[in-house]
Amino acid sequence: MTVEEKARHGRTAATVFLGLLLAALLLQTLLQPLPAAAMAFMVAVKLLPLSIFLPLLWRGRTQSVLWFSMFLMPYFCWAILGAFVPGTEGLVAMLVALLIAACFSASMLLIRWQRAAGLTQNP
């Protein structure tokens, strides 16, 4: 497999992991017993900032991928804190933490393979 193919697969993997992360965050929010208005607000606060990165990741610009990896840090800290909650919420938080780690790893590998292939696209 060439480095260009690895970069393309890395871009796809990072985008897929982000989609799975968004689904897991939605599940985590829906498990909480909240009124409808509060539920809509929580979904917007959790999902909208991350969903901005979906088209940016698909384009594969190095700067966007770097910002995405840094943007994952507060989500990871919050997921680790939530993993200590007993029951289903804790398990979902552990799943979210694993998906965040997978997103971060895929984005770092994407940057590495893009630089090796000379495909770095800066704005």
- Per-residue pLDDT of 57-73, as tens digits, reads 888 788 888 999 999 99
| Cα–Cα distance for residue pair 27/20, rounded to 1 Å | 11
* Amino acid 117: pLDDT: 80
Model confidence at 116: pLDDT above 60: yes
pTM of the model: 0.86
Report the alpha-carbon distance of residue 11 to residue 114 in Å, rounded.
Answer: 10
* DSSP label at residue 24: H
Phi, psi of 31, deg, nearest 5: -75, -15
pLDDT given for residue 115 in this prediction = 85
- Where residue 103 falls among pLDDT bands split at 50, 70, 90? very high
Cα 96 → chain centroid = 9
Q: Could you tell me which of 35, 50, 36 has the C-alpha nearest to residue 96?
A: 50
pLDDT band at residue 121 under the 50/70/90 scheme: low
At how many degrees (to 10) do helices 88-117 and 3-30 cross?
160
Is residue 123 over pLDDT 70? no
Looking at the chain, the whole-number percentage of residues with pLDDT higher than 70 is 96
Supply the mean pLDDT for the chain.
Answer: 88
Tell me the C-alpha distance between 96 and 88, whole Å.
Answer: 12
Q: Mean pLDDT over residues 20-36, rounded?
A: 89
CA dist 72 and 91 (Å) reads: 19
